[in-house]
Amino acid sequence: MRRLTRALVLVLIGIIFGGLAGEGLVRLGTANQKNYVIEIWRYTGLLMRPAADPAVGHEHVPGASARLQGVEISINRLGLRGPEPVPGRPAVVLAGDSMALGWGVDEADTLAAGLARRLGDDVQVLNAGIGNMTMPQIIAHWLMIRQRIGDDFPIRALILMPSSRAGLPPSSGKAGWLLRNSALAALVSTFHARLTSGDVGRDGMIAAYREAWTGPAGVARIAGAFDRLATEARADDMRVIVAQLPDTNDFRDYDFGFMARTTGGEAAARGWDFVDLYPLFAGEDAAAFQAMPGDVHLNAAAYDRIADRLAPLLATPAS
């Protein structure tokens, strides 16, 4: 029995030291900040915290900052990426997930910064984009931020920017302690998820997204989120513009038009302006507009085009 106990203890010690060595190697090997999985893991650990409202799930840590994927991301006192807001100055707000946030892009090259330059000093642009959000979470997050703003400045318009991921069902459960604190565990978990998900291929992926965006449950989920926003928009007499982001994997053989049909229909039903942003990139090489190889987030060139498209709309009255 003593020999068995000793053997088990030695095995346990070996596992612990092996895990620590693996953790060190992963962190050393990804120190160049070019591993997308690890950078997203670091983003979650360094700049996010649980939100008080379970409908939101998570929020940015006000005042926090970190260098992620080679880019500095600074969070202001409202919990938004970008400079501190100016009290009394009218604001345009971007609401969405990491695509609206500008993941992988310098602050000066984000959509929020590009719109601010085009709109001039009379208007400030607030970036309420935050990573890993579905449509109901995006709306709930904005409503939380709206309460935080209070009467500091009037909201001239809200630009809702759903990406393809925003239409998916919310993820289930929270990450455990090991996954939250170990880069090695994050890599292993991601590899395991991909290995066990089955290779559904392009057709399977499109079918899954189509069901999420156009199936009864998906449409009800999106419509319910829009209804929450509509109530707040009426109370604030706030203009809403829905700008549908395209799926960024392939701009040539594009089969995601159903996203714009869903959000466009829901926007029209509420009297909101709607813009489908896919035509800005139709037929072009998607890789030319991606943040880095292996990361399908938009880059500075993409945000520049989108800013050119949206800025004139903000200068005209609501339809």
pLDDT one-digit tens code per residue, 68-92: 999 999 999 999 999 999 999 999 9
Report the distance separating Cα 52 and Cα 147, nearest Å: 13
Residue 200 CA: distances (Å) to CA of 167, 192, 196, 208, 259: 19, 15, 11, 10, 20
pTM: 0.92
The three-point CA angle 85-78-115 to 5° equals 45
Report the distance separating Cα 299 and Cα 303, nearest Å: 6
Sheet with 239-244, edge to edge strand ranges: 124-129, 91-96, 155-161, 239-244, 273-276
Tokens (6 digits) for 14: 């070996």
User: How much is the average pLDDT of 221-241?
Assistant: 96
Residue 38 CA: distances (Å) to CA of 28, 41, 90, 104, 167: 11, 5, 37, 13, 24
pLDDT of residue 281: 98
Residue 278 confidence (pLDDT) above 90 = yes
Residue 18 confidence (pLDDT) above 80 = no
For domain 86-314, say whether CATH 3.40.120.10 is its number: no
C-beta of residue 268 within 8 angstroms of C-beta of residue 73: no
Amino acid at 68: L
Domain ranges of the chain: 1-31, 86-314
In this structure, of 7-16, 66-75, 215-224, 246-255, the range with the lowest mean pLDDT score is 7-16
pLDDT of residue 202: 83
Residue 173 confidence (pLDDT) above 60 = no
pLDDT of residue 174: 67
Residue 123 confidence (pLDDT) above 70 = yes
User: How much is the average pLDDT of 13-20?
Assistant: 68
Residue 200 confidence (pLDDT) above 60 = yes
